[in-house]
Amino acid sequence: MSFQLGIFYVFAAILVFAALRVISARNPVHAALYLVLAFFTSAGLWMLMEAEFLAIVLVLVYVGAVMVLFLFVVMMLDIDIARLRVGLTRYVPVAALVAVLMLAEMLLVFASGAFDRAKPEALPVDAGNTQALGEILYTVYVYPFELAGAILLVAIIAAIALTLRRSAHAKHQDPSQQMRAKRGERVRLVDIPRAGRSEGP
């Protein structure tokens, strides 16, 4: 076994362990830290495959921005995990069924030969993997790339719609009503009678 293959097996084992800890850790902060470890290990695997651009993007975007923001949010919200886990086990059969169906669908897609595409033309020797990724992404896989962008756009719109839901207990500001406010409505002067001194006998 070569040295590079041994490094691959070590990184793969660490990645599988970190992924399992992400979904099994009770503390959300620990789960987020294990996810950071999974991202770093994935970046190492990308480096082994000589995809330096993908590796550095994974570290800068996900580890350097997304996960740091996620850690700040988790630590500031102070989520009561014990209360959220109550009654969670009743969803395990449905979740297992969905997972099995998704796995079967992915196996069927891979077995159908839908990903058997013609290889793109060879790039010059001095071309980097960033150019090679762009050539493949915008020629061979342009339709899946556009479809992924449309799905992400729908997800963003759905997240905004869920965030802006009106609730009976939520407080909202009306900027138009604030702009129509007059000077007399902003401050109200109230005369408080001065309490007199109580005189002794």
- pLDDT tens digit string along 69-90? 777 777 776 666 666 666 667 7
Q: Please check whether residues 125 and 112 belong to one and the same domain.
A: no
CA-closest candidate to residue 77, choices 25, 30, 28: 28
Q: Return the percentage of the chain with pLDDT > 90, whole number.
A: 4
Token pair belonging to 60: 């800068």
Residue 49 maps to which CATH number?
1.20.120.1200
- How many domains does the chain fold into? 3
**pTM for the full model?**
0.54
Its domain, for residue 102, covers 89-116
pLDDT single digits (tens) 105-153: 777 766 766 555 555 555 555 666 777 778 888 888 888 889 888 998 9
The answer to whether residue 36 sits within a structural domain is yes
44 touches 11 (CB < 8 A) = yes
The answer to whether residue 138 sits within a structural domain is yes
